[in-house]
Amino acid sequence: MVTISPSLLSANFLKLGEELSAFDSQKDKDLWFHLDIMDGHFVPNMTFGIPVIKQIGMVAKHPLDAHLMVTNPLFYVEHLQEYNIFNLTFHFETTKHHDSLIHKIKKHYPSVGMAINPSTPVDAIPDYILEMLDLVLIMSVNPGFGGQKFIPYALHKVEELNRKRVQSNGLLKYVIQVDGGINSEEAKMLVQKGANNLVAGSYIFNNKNKDDYNQRVESLKANH
């Protein structure tokens, strides 16, 4: 099964409730709402803060997937516990104490993920850390802004992560998520390499007709 995660960074925030309700027909397990949380330090951009996340958590009918692009992920781990976050992903590059942070996230969230930037190799993540993760996020653009072009090398990273997962005899059970510049063509290649969760913002939301949102979601799932 492939899960599609529309990135709300590309949604119309003046009509966010309507944007979220456009996906009500999608099955819960097939669609997550992806929250790109940026602090202006780890990446050169700032997005929504905790009050907006609280409002989204009150009305969203699909799992919330929080992607922390911040220098202090522990702050958000502690302050997002009340807002129905299903998966919380932090960046490998933001801490040296990965195991400690993972344990803290697991106490309060059903799923914990780790993201790696385009310049970070898969082998930088120790196997014992991979065993602790529910999700690994491969960035296929440099984090910070939507609408960027897909970096093809992400396909090799997905293939490597999938190989590790297949050869682990069940020890590695993580979802492979990819985020950045994904359209229907890249989606097909990524799933063939082993990805099973695709984040898409501009591709889904850059349409004036909300009926097109679900058509774009289905096109990302097609031929998988």
Q: Which of 39, 179, 211, 212 is catalytic?
A: 179
Q: Which of 36, 39, 65, 134 is catalytic?
A: 36
3-state secondary structure the chain: CCEEEEEHHHCCHHHHHHHHHCCCCCCHHHECEEEEEEECCCCCCECCCHHHHHHHHHHCCCCEEEEEECCCHHHHHHHCCCCCEEEEEEEHHHCCCHHHHHHHHHCCCCEEEEEECCCCCHHHCCHHHHCCCCEEEEECCCCCCCCCCCCCCHHHHHHHHHHHHHCCCCCCCCEEEEECCCCHHHHHHHHHHCCCEEEECHHHHCCCCCHHHHHHHHHHHCCC
Is residue 36 annotated as a catalytic residue, yes or no?
Answer: yes
Active-site residue list:
36, 179
